[in-house]
């Protein structure tokens, strides 16, 4: 839909810029050809010969290319030669003017912009299957796009920074990732990115501008009421506005997200490790749990992060002392407030030598690292949480050997990635974190099952919907009135006595959500299943649900022959299939 508009824009700019030089060439060549036609040629047999229009056009054409075939179809008269000399000089000047206009056209920013948009629209139309529109390609967008690629999905990127788009084109992704340098708040660019395409599943607004994210979300909702919207927001007033847009809208605040993870880690020691391990964090391990202490804390920096963490600690009845240079802060969530920068003097005043934990949560990476070093001078056993604002400082933060690093861009990217590829993970986590008897033991059982099933291999979160597009064999089986159980699908289709490296987390059937479902669960059309497994197990699982012969073997323990002769033989002998091995 957008391609003809963009193409017409390119053509319009070309015609507008080249109108004068083209008209000049037409006039010069028209006059030159007419002159060659009407000027008398040589006399042959007492008769003056005139050049035809075709021969005049032919002569002007090959002279324009400097080929120089000579005087044809006959030798010219002196008058024709004089006219040819004049035409050659004038045409050279006309061509220089036309070529200069062409070079100027290719330097025209509007023309280059139109060509880029046209190429981008064509690239988007070539994306096969479902994809997401990513508005913003900073640190958060870069991490998120890599996760989307690893999950086997495609995305379309819009960013105002030309250098970021150039970097996008140089990266190696598993899927086609077209990029456009432009303002995502402009509706035209969202349409060029395929917002109204049925393959567009969600718009992700993660620019560094809160107002821009709000505008993008509003534009996307108006242009496509059915598309999902995920927006990064750190300001309450924008969150309130976003919540009223209607439809499927997810608001991601990295500071609130981290505060919730921190609270969950205090109550459930294995949660932090499980959360990071599922997202593919290279440093995460299911063998080492991180449990923040419940004693007194010192919070350095009372911005958004300090406020959210202090609020969570207050709910857990943990004593908190805040150090911040601003006086006009909400102090309802803290026990003690010290005005000033977090230096050795203020840290000592806050009682850091007797504290159990410290949070360095300012928006300056160098200041956060210096806070950590000063605090360790007083208390080397502190549980430390440090905020890393810029991804380029990763080496320094890793060398600091902290217990937890909070990188807003990474927290946001992981949260959005879960929402895109594993939306059922939210009720799964909510179930494990419920304050009910047995939940701690269930989480430990899940972690042990993952360690035993997947081990050191890279985990992959996969969401499968049982429909006629994604699970052809299962749908065919159900249409025939047969039953398919979960315990059958998690078997190895090459050897049904072995189980796949898969742990099923959730099955959603209509409005019912089954957490850690029973192996005897009966699969129904429309069910959504979330599991964690290895890449190889994922391939085998997809083969089972889409290949009727593998599903037949899983169900019956014998192989269904594919040839007509064997099928006829088995029908005659009343046998289901052939047992191999």
**Cα of 169 vs its chain's centroid, Å:** 14
Instruction: Specify the pLDDT at position 240.
Output: 61
Give one DSSP letter per residue of 51-65, joined into a string.
--HHHHHHHHHHHHT
Q: Is the pLDDT of residue 541 over 80?
A: yes
What phi, psi does 224 have (nearest 5°)?
-150, 90
128-252: CATH topology is Rossmann fold (3.40.50)
Instruction: Specify the pLDDT at position 244.
Output: 64
Q: Shortest CA distance to 208 belongs to which of 123, 135, 277, 99?
A: 135
**Cα of 41 vs its chain's centroid, Å:** 72
Distance CA 247, CA 244 (A): 9
Average pLDDT over residues 527-547: 93
Q: Is the pLDDT of residue 273 over 90?
A: no
Distance CA 456, CA 347 (A): 41
Q: Where are the domains of the chain?
A: 2-109, 128-252, 256-413, 454-573
Q: What is the mean pLDDT of the chain?
A: 86
DSSP letter (8 states) at residue 561: P
Distance CA 300, CA 345 (A): 13
**Cα of 484 vs its chain's centroid, Å:** 34
User: How many helices and strands, by DSSP H and E, does the chain display?
Assistant: 23, 20
Question: Residues near 259 by Cβ (< 8 Å), separated by ≥ 6?
Answer: 305, 308, 309, 311, 312
Instruction: Specify the pLDDT at position 576.
Output: 54
Question: Residues near 241 by Cβ (< 8 Å), separated by ≥ 6?
Answer: 214
| CATH number assigned to the domain with residue range 2-109, chosen from the 4 options 3.30.70, 1.10.287, 3.40.50, 2.60.120 | 1.10.287
Question: Which of 59-68, 279-288, 411-420 tops mean pLDDT?
Answer: 411-420
Whole-prediction pTM value?
Answer: 0.78
Q: Shortest CA distance to 84 belongs to which of 62, 103, 105, 104?
A: 62
Tell me if 415 sits within 8 A of 254, measured CB to CB.
yes
Average pLDDT over residues 548-561: 80
pLDDT band at 2 (very low <50, low <70, confident <90, very high): very low
Which strands form 200-205's sheet, in the order they lie side by side? Answer: 179-181, 154-159, 131-135, 200-205, 228-232, 249-252
Average pLDDT over residues 479-499: 91
The residue ranking higher by pLDDT, 558 or 2, is: 558
Instruction: Specify the pLDDT at position 268.
Output: 85
Q: Shortest CA distance to 464 belongs to which of 517, 521, 523, 417?
A: 523
The residue ranking higher by pLDDT, 158 or 66, is: 158
pLDDT band at 394 (very low <50, low <70, confident <90, very high): confident
Instruction: Quote the percentage of the chain above a pLDDT of 70.
Output: 92
Average pLDDT over residues 535-556: 89
Question: Which residues partner with 157 through β-bridges?
Answer: 134, 179
User: Domain 256-413: what homologous superfamily?
Assistant: NAD(P)-binding Rossmann-like Domain (3.40.50.720)
pLDDT band at 157 (very low <50, low <70, confident <90, very high): very high
**Is cis: bond before 347, omega within 30 of 0?**
no
Q: Which of these ranges, 235-249, 324-338, 442-456, has the smallest mean pLDDT?
A: 235-249
pLDDT band at 1 (very low <50, low <70, confident <90, very high): very low
Strands 47-48 and 43-44: antiparallel
Tell me if 111 sits within 8 A of 6, measured CB to CB.
no
Tell me if 299 sits within 8 A of 321, measured CB to CB.
yes
Q: Which of these ranges, 326-340, 362-376, 408-422, 425-439, has the smallest mean pLDDT?
A: 326-340
Instruction: Specify the pLDDT at position 450.
Output: 92
Average pLDDT over residues 366-381: 93
Instruction: Specify the pLDDT at position 205.
Output: 93
**pLDDT tens digits for range 106-155:** 777 777 777 888 889 888 988 888 899 999 998 899 999 998 998 888 99
Distance CA 204, CA 207 (A): 9
Q: Shortest CA distance to 404 belongs to which of 421, 417, 388?
A: 388
Q: Check for a shared fold between 128-252 and 256-413.
A: yes
Q: Is the pLDDT of residue 4 over 50?
A: no
Tell me if 417 sits within 8 A of 147, measured CB to CB.
yes
Class of the CATH domain delimited by 454-573: alpha beta
Instruction: Specify the pLDDT at position 272.
Output: 87
Distance CA 452, CA 70 (A): 88
**Cα of 42 vs its chain's centroid, Å:** 75
Average pLDDT over residues 555-576: 60
Instruction: Specify the pLDDT at position 558.
Output: 75
């Amino acid at each position: 839909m957008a391609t003809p508009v963009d193409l017409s824009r390119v053509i319009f700019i070309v015609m507008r810029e080249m109108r004068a030089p083209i008209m000049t060439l037409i006039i010069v060549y028209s006059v030159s050809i007419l002159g060659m036609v009407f000027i008398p040629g040589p006399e042959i047999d007492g008769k003056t010969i005139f050049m035809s229009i075709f021969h005049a056009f032919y002569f002007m054409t090959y002279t324009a290319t400097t080929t120089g075939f000579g005087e044809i179809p006959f030798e010219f008269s002196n008058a024709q030669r004089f006219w040819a000399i004049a035409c050659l000089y004038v045409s050279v000047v006309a061509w220089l003017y036309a070529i200069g206009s062409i070079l100027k056209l290719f330097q025209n920013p509007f023309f280059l912009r139109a060509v880029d948009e046209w190429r981008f629209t064509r690239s988007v139309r070539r994306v096969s299957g479902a994809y997401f529109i990513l508005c913003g390609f900073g640190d958060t967008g870069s991490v998120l796009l890599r996760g989307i690629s690893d999950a086997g999905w495609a995305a379309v990127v819009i960013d105002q920074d030309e250098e970021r788009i150039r970097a996008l084109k140089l990266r190696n992704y598993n899927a086609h990732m077209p990029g456009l340098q432009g303002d995502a708040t402009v509706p035209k660019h969202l349409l060029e990115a395929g917002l109204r395409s049925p393959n567009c599943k969600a718009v992700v607004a993660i620019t560094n501008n809160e107002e821009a994210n709000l505008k993008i979300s509003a534009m996307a909702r108006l242009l496509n009421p059915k598309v999902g919207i995920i927006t990064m927001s750190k300001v309450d007033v924008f969150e309130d506005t976003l919540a009223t847009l209607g439809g499927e809208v997810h608001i991601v605040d990295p500071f609130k997200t981290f505060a919730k993870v921190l609270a969950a880690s205090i109550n459930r020691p294995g949660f932090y490790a499980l959360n990071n391990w599922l997202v593919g964090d290279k440093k995460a391990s299911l063998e080492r749990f991180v449990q923040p202490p419940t004693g007194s804390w010192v919070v350095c920096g009372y911005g958004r992060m300090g406020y959210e963490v202090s609020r969570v600690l207050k709910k857990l009845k943990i004593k908190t002392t805040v150090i911040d240079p601003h006086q006009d802060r909400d102090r309802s969530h803290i026990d003690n407030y010290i005005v000033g920068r977090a230096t050795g003097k203020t840290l000592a005043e806050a009682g850091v030598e007797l504290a159990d934990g410290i949070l360095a949560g300012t928006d300056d990476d160098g200041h956060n690292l210096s806070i950590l070093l000063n605090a360790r001078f007083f208390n080397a056993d502190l549980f430390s949480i440090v905020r890393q604002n810029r991804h380029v400082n990763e080496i320094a933060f890793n060398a600091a050997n902290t217990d937890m690093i909070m990188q807003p861009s990474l927290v946001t990217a992981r949260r959005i990635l879960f929402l895109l590829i594993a939306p059922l993970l939210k009720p799964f986590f909510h179930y494990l974190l419920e304050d009910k008897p047995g939940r701690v033991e269930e989480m430990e059982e899940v972690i042990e099952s993952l360690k035993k099933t997947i081990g050191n291999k890279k985990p992959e979160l996969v969401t499968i919907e049982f429909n006629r597009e994604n699970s052809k064999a299962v749908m065919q089986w159900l249409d025939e009135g047969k039953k398919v159980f979960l315990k059958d699908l998690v078997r190895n289709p090459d050897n049904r006595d072995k189980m796949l490296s898969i742990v099923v987390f959730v099955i959603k059937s209509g409005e019912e959500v089954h957490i850690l479902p029973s192996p005897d669960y009966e699969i129904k059309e429309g069910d959504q299943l979330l599991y964690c497994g290895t890449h190889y197990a994922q391939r085998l699982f997809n083969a089972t649900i889409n290949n009727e012969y593998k599903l037949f073997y899983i169900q019956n323990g014998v192989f269904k022959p594919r040839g007509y002769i064997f099928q006829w033989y088995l029908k005659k002998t009343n046998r289901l299939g052939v047992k191999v091995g």
